Each structure stands twice: as structure tokens, then as C-alpha cells.
Structure 1
Amino acid sequence: MLKVDILREHLNKAIPWVRSNPDNLETRVRKGNVVSSGRPGASFEYRYHVDVLAMDFPDDIEMLTLVILTWARDHQPDLIFNPDKRAREVSFDADILDNGNVDVLFSFPVSEAVTVTRDSDGRITFTPQDEPDYRKMYGISEGVWDLEFDGTMTDDGL
């Protein structure tokens, strides 16, 4: 699934601990549904929940939160821009461990359209679709804020 793969890449690039401890970060897909409109064509949409579990995470969870929200701005923007969803859809649970580390689980809904096409030889191709560029949709200039994947923030344009 395209969006889960991209999320994992973002976490890996942005947080050195994830790169050093890949077995301590799990990304899971659960509660999935397949939605088809019944209209002509075979394209469909996946709707599912993503769980991101960081086990024995030694740092503040703010960095995990920031990377997930930055990912959502580009790949699931309704979690940021829809007032109802941003207020209730990104949830987390944390277990504070005796050694000062934390097990933290983030959970949020994701949708992913899949375009189905058939070429002239009859071969079927499945193409996962990412979200449209929210910056263009909402008239936001480039560089308002972005996460550099060395773990630092830039504030270009502020």
C-alpha cells in the first residue's frame, strides 16, 4: 500500500532512532474496507486504519507526532484540513516504561484510490493514487513550513 510505505520512509528519514532500531517500529494496516462505486470501470478505493507503533522509544513523542502530521499534510490532508477529522481522527496511546522509554501507538484513518487500467494486450495494471497537492487546492505558497529529514524544522516563508 503506497501511503503506508511512504509513511515508513518519512519516519525512517526524519528520526535517527528509527534508522538505528527498525525492528522497534511497526506500521500496521487494520480495519480495511474496499469501496467500489459500481460505476463503469474497475477502479476502487481502500479505506483502512494505520497503526504506527514505536516500542522502547527513548525520545519525546513530539518528533513522531510531527513526522506523522507532516506526512498527513501531503498524503492524507483531510486529517489536517477537515476540522472534524483533525479534532478526533489522529489518536495515540502511550505506555510509560520504567526505563524512561515509551511504547507509543498512533492510529488514524487513511484512504487510497487505486486506478485499474487494461492495456492493448489485455494486461491489467493497478496504480495506487496519492492525494492531490493540497498547497494548490488551498492556495498555500510553497515553503510555508516543511520538515527537513535530518530532524530539523525550516521556516521558509514565515
Structure 2
Amino acid sequence: MNKLISLRDHLIGAVAELKRNPDKLLTFIQDGRVAFHRGQHLSHEYRVPAQLVITDYSGTLDTVMIPLLQWLSRYQPDLDPDEAVTIEAEILDNKRWDLALTVQLTERVVALVDCDAGHINVEHRMPEYPIDPCPANAWQMSIKGPSDQDYKLAAEWSSD
């Protein structure tokens, strides 16, 4: 799935801990579906719950969630806001945890059949949906906790 690869690449580029060790990010698809219509054409849509697991993570949830939501806003904005992302975590100790996030992804595949030539052209579509106009491509995220006086730089990344 192109969308899952794109999301994975985005998180690796945006989350400092994953940038240093991309093997901490595991991706899975379970119980995915393929939607299609009978007939001569073979176009279809993948509908998959994509699970992103970050192992032995020592960062904050925000440093993962903000880049994830940024990517979803651009490539999967039609998600139900109440069900867009589910979270599971296992606390390993006071500084490390395993984090599992699940998002519903869809990817349209257009398969054009040329019966005369015996040829099928397949195109995976990954449209970008415009989000609020913002010219920045380089991002810095600062976080302020309840007992903090000031914001502290938590993450930096570039995005398209």
C-alpha cells in the first residue's frame, strides 16, 4: 500500500527517535478489505486498518501524534474524527513505552482493461487534499506542560 509507505516515511522523517532508529517503527495490516464492483473493469479500493507500533519509545505522545494528524489531514481527511486514530500503549518503565496507533486507510486503484490488446494499466491513486494554506515546509513543535513556565522545543521535521 502506497499510503502506508508514505505515512511510515513521514513519521520516520518527523519523529526524531524514529529518524535515529527507523527499526523502532513496525507497521501491520490486519483484517483489511478490498472493495470492488463486478464487471469488466478491475478497479478497486483497499480499506485497511493500519497499525503503527513504536517500540521502546521515550518521547511524548505529541511528537508522534502531531505529525500523524498532519499527514492524515492531507491524505485521509475523510476519517470520522471520533474514530480516526486509536491508541494502545504498554508502559515499560518510567521513561520508555511501546505505542500502538491504528488508523483506517483507503487507497483507490484504477485498473483500465484493454480487451483488444490484452493489457491492463493499473494506477494507484493517492490524492492530496488541500489543507489550510500554510507555506511552511519546515516545522518545529514546542510543548508546554501544566507546571512549565515556557514552551520547550520537542520536535523538528520537514514535510511536503
Q: TM-score, normalised to structure 1's length?
A: 0.79
What is the correspondence of 1:38-53 to structure 2 with a 5 Å cutoff? Answer: 38=38, 40-53=40-53
1:44-89 Cα distance to aligned partner (Å, 9 max, x none): 011110000000111101111111111101111112xxxxx11123
Amino acid at match of 1:9: D
Whether the 8 Å CA contact 1:30–1:50 is kept in 2: the answer is: yes
Gaps of 5+ in 1: 80-84
Whether the 8 Å CA contact 2:40–2:113 is kept in 1: the answer is: no
What is the correspondence of 1:45-124 to structure 2 with a 5 Å cutoff? Answer: 45-79=45-79, 85-118=80-113, 121-124=117-120
Q: Is 2:5 aligned against 1:10?
A: no
Give 1:82's aligned residue: none
More helix, by proportion: 1
More strand, by proportion: 2
Give the counterpart of 1:143 among 121, 130, 134.
134
Could you tell me the percent identity over the aligned residues? 26
Gaps of 5+ in 2: 142-154
Whether the 8 Å CA contact 1:10–1:149 is kept in 2: the answer is: no
Name the Cα RMSD after superposition: 2.6
Give the counterpart of 2:123 among 116, 121, 127.
127
The whole-number CA distance in structure 1 between the counterparts of 2:77 and 2:39 is: 26
**Number of corresponding residues:** 144
Whether the 8 Å CA contact 2:73–2:129 is kept in 1: the answer is: no
1:69-121 Cα distance to aligned partner (Å, 9 max, x none): 11101111112xxxxx1112311011111151110000021111101124685
